[in-house]
Every structure is written in structure tokens, then in C-alpha cells.
Structure 1
Amino acid sequence: MNSLSYFLSSTKNETVKLKRTFAFWLSVIGAFFIPLIYLLYYLLKYEKLIPKEGENPWDSFMTSQITAASPLLIPMFIILVTSLIVQIEHKSLSVKHLFTLPIPKWSVYFGKLFIVLGLVLFTYVLFALLVFIVGYTVGGVHGELQMWEHTPNVSLFVKLLFRSFISVLGIIGLQFWLSFRFKNFIVPLGIGMVLFITGLIVYQAKESIYYPYAYSMLSLFPLDSKDVNAMVWFPRVALYSIGYFLLFSVLGFLDIRRMNIK
């Protein structure tokens, strides 16, 4: 088998295992959480949410859900779901089994990392679909909200989601490494939560541009623009986040490759 075949085989096996885990259903629940709250809110409090004349109700409807999810829920979700996915291998002692198979260690490590990325991306896509479904649903129930009379700014919505996704890549890279390195589920979870809480505290400082756990907030409250419509696709935090992801992924693999499997 060539390198690509090893990687595809490892990814396929990880996908099959993922379907039977709580991590998958946690991703579904995570995607539903905010849209479901907004569904109830708009159905029950629609009188307060009727847009002014000439105002597109979709703007506040979409951006408020992203700004509600990205700073707090998404980093916590990533810390938890990454720890859960890797914990499956530690709990069943299958890490040792995988590393004794006649396949490259890199295909095991990066195959599982690819699945983590795919699961997070799946959550973002499902969240986006639910936002539109909920928007048209509440608009159909309460015509006063004018959801059907206006067109959602899809480009802006996708841009905000893209910025949010790119901003958490650094967290994914480090949390995956920690989860692979420590058998105890509490250790990577605890470290991640401490780093995340620290990010909430320091994100307003200029130095937070170098702190990956603050990027989920900086991606939506950027240093490069005060106008949400003028946001670029790749702010500084996105570039730094990609850099951290590559760094942590390589360092994590080099560390795991040295593991003495007995």
C-alpha cells in the first residue's frame, strides 16, 4: 500500500468507529443548541423582534447566533469532543494495538486528527443549515418578522462561520495532542478548560493575538475592522491559528511516534 492508501484506510476505520460514539451525537446536539433556543425565543417573543422599516431581520438573526456560540460554546465543545474521540482508544487500549499493526504511525495519528476536523466542520455545516431552517420557520409562523420578505446575507454568514472555524484550528491541534498524550480523560479536558478560561480573561489585551484560546473571540471582534460587513476572510488570528495547528500537529506526531508501545 502507498501512503495515500494507508491514510484513506485509517480515515475510513475512524469514521466507522465514530458513528457509534457519544462524540458524534454531541456534535449534533451542539449544532442544535443555539438554533433551538432562538426558535423558542422568536416564537414566544416575536413582538419585540419585529424589524424596523427597511431593516433586514436576517442580519441580527444570523450574526447574533454566531456571536452567541463562537466565543464560549464552540471552544468548550472542541475541548470536550476531541478528548472524547481519543479517549475511546485509551479506554479500550486500542492505541497500543493500532501502533503495533504493520501500518505507519502517521496514518493512525493524522487519520484520527482528520476525523476530528471533519466532525467539527460537520457541526458548523449543520449549525448553518439549522439557522436558515429556524429563520424561515419562525418567519412562517409570525409573518410580522418579515423573514420571507427579505433575503439572508449568505456571504456574510458564511464568512463569519469560516472565520470562526479557522480560528479554532490551533485549539484542535493542541487538544488533540494532549488527548493522545494522556490516558486520563480529565487531564487534557482540565488543561483545555484552564487555557480557555484564561483566553476569556486576556482576549482584550494586544498580546492575545498570540494566544490561540482567545482566537474564537478575536475572530468575531477583530482587531482589523469594526465593520462586520468589511471583515476579511483571513484576519491575523486566522493565519496564526493555522500556524499553531500545523505546529501542534507536527509536534504531537513527533511526540507520539516516540511512544514506547509495550
Structure 2
Amino acid sequence: MKAFKFYISSLKNELIKLRRTLAFWLTIISGLLFPILFFIAYSIKPLILDKGVNPWEKFMTLQIENSIPFFIPMFIVLIASLIMQIEHKSLGIKHLFSLPIPKWSVYFGKLSIVILAIISTYVYYFLAILISAEVLGLINPDLTFLEFRPDFLKYIKLLTSTFIACLGIVGIQFWLSFRFKNFIISLGMGMFLAIVGIIVSQAEQSIYFPYSFSVLSVSLGDKMPMIFGISAVAVYSLGCFIVTILLGYLDIRRMNIE
């Protein structure tokens, strides 16, 4: 019970510190960016389908397939680096580790905030897609958005699979961002690996490269290799996440913060 109180206290402190920071606004802006761009594109050049065809399928699939696989790795790299930069910049880590609280509560409290920021961006993104389509339907009835309903469960499952596929990146980037005081080092390494992940995603071996998992989670579709009935990308991503988070914690626990 005492351990749980330490964790909740750390989580509350992290939420308070996150408010009014660039990382906080980034979660909102990132979630709205692509739906706004698609809204503008549909407003300028509407994609009117044949009568009786559900327009939600095309509208939502196009957005997810063309934004999430490439955008989310970049976002994770940036948000993890920014959240940790708040502490490194103000020597907050040194202060936190000097307090009579366990290091694990600080470490996992910050990790929870990073994951919460990513989930929040997913929620903003999904809601923005739905709202933008409804508004388009009001502006241009020929798009027939108001005559049909989207398959909510289908797209929630798809977005969930892309989120799980990115957990490996979360583990790696959180460790790097915690380990290096210099914001540029963790950000530069992450961006480089994210770009490499996109480039090599067409290679067969990319199934073992965490920074390619977000692309593969969408591009492979029914061709996705399975492990005990579970997506191979999901299994590898979760495995990478668990291993890197544990190794990161062991590294931080023995580290002297100066």
C-alpha cells in the first residue's frame, strides 16, 4: 500500500509539472494536425463516392494509413525527450533523487506520464477525425457522411494495434531521454532511428526493428506473421518495451545523478 502511495504521489506531481509546458500542448496539436489537414483537403477537393458507399471507410482508412505509421514514432521521440528535458533543464532529477522516496516511483511515474501523453494524442486524433467528418457532412451533403456511421470498433482496434506496435519505441526513447541530460542527443538518436525504421520497413528483417513496427502494424494487414495467434509485431514490441524499461530502471537505479 505504501509503494502504491509513492507511485500515485509521483504521478500527481508529474501531471502538475506537465501543465502549460510544450509537451502538454504538443499532445493536443499533434492529435489535431492530420485531421485538420484532411479536412482542408476534403473541403478543397471532395472525394464523392458512388451512391450507397459508406464514405467513412475511405476517409478514416486514408488518414490512419498515411499518418499514424510515420507520425507516431516521431511524436514518441519528441514527447519523451521534452518531458525529460523539463527535469534535466532545471536539475529536477537531482532534486527528486535526493528526496526520501524510492527511485522506482520517480522512474515509473514519468514513464506513465509519457504513455498517458501518447494515449491522449490518440484520443484527440480519433475524436478529431469523427468531428471533422461530421462537419464536412454538414458543409457538403454530397459527401454523405451524415447518412452513414463509421465502424467504431474496427478503427479503435486498428489504432490500438498501432499503439501497441509503438511501445518498443517508447521503452527505448524513455531510457535514452532519462539517461542523457543533453536534449539533442536523445532527440537526434531517436529521429535518426525513426527515419531508418521508415526506410527499412519494406525489408523482411524489419520485423525485428522496433522503429519499423508502426509502419508494419498497418502495411502488413492480413500478411502479418502470428505468434501463438498474436501479431508478431505486437509480441516483439511488448517484449522490447518490457526489456528496455527494466534495463533502463536498473541503469537509473545505480546511476549517480550529479
TM-score range, shorter chain: over 0.9
Aligned to 2:111: 113
The offset of 1:225, in angstroms, is 3.2
Counterpart of 2:185?
A: 187
Task: Give the aligned partner of residue 28 of structure 1.
Answer: 28
Q: Distance in 2 between matches of 1:201 and 1:138?
A: 34
In the alignment, does 2:155 pair up with 1:128?
Answer: no
- Percent of residue pairs bearing the same amino acid type: 52
Counterpart position of 2:96: 98
Structure 2, gaps ≥5 residues long: none
Q: Which whole-Å deviations, capped at 9, do the CAs of 1:194-214 have from their partners, x for residues lacking one?
A: 111111121112211110000
Residue of 222, 234, 252 corresponding to 1:238: 234
Kindly indicate whether the alpha-carbon contact (under 8 Å) linking 1:199 and 1:214 is maintained by their aligned counterparts in 2.
yes
Answering whether residue 248 of structure 2 is matched by residue 247 of structure 1, we say no
Give how far 1:161 is off: 0.6
C-alpha distance in structure 2 between counterparts of 1:241 and 1:100, whole Å: 34
Q: Which residue of 1 aligns with 2:40?
A: 40
How far off its partner does 1:71 sit?
2.0
Hey, what does 1:86 align to over in structure 2? 84
Tell me what 1:10 maps to. 10
Please give the root-mean-square deviation of Cα atoms over the aligned residues, in Å.
1.4
For the 8 Å contact 1:82–1:176, the answer to whether it is kept is yes
Cα-to-partner distance string for 1:91-131 (whole Å, 9 max, x where unaligned): 00010110111000000000000010001000001110110
1:242 Cα deviation (Å)? Answer: 0.8
Of 164, 167, 184, the match for 1:166: 164
After the TM superposition, which segments of 4 or more aligned residues of structure 1 sit over 6 Å from their partners? none
Cα drift, residue 54 of structure 1:
2.7
Letter in 2 for 1:244: C
The unaligned stretches of length 5 or more in structure 1 are 227-232
Tell me if structure 2 keeps the 8 A contact 1:168–1:215.
yes
Q: Secondary structure at the match of 1:259?
A: coil
Q: 1:229 maps to which residue?
A: none
* Corresponding residue number in structure 1 for 2:253: 257
Alignment partner, residue 146 of structure 2? 148
Distance 1:234 1:215 in 2: 14
Native 8 Å contact 1:224 1:235 kept in 2:
no
C-alpha distance 234-32 of structure 1, shift in aligned 2 (>3 A) = farther
Which deviates more from structure 2 when the two are superposed, residues 148-157 or residues 137-146? 148-157
Superposed CA offset, 1:208-260 (max 9, x none): 1110000010000126438xxxxxx9521011111111111000010011111
Partner of 2:19: 19
Q: How many residues align?
A: 254
Return the TM-score normalized by structure 2: 0.95
Deviations 1:77-99 (A, max 9, x none): 11011100001100000101101
Question: Which AA in structure 2 matches 1:5?
Answer: K
Give the Cα separation in 2 of the matches to 1:223 and 1:257: 40
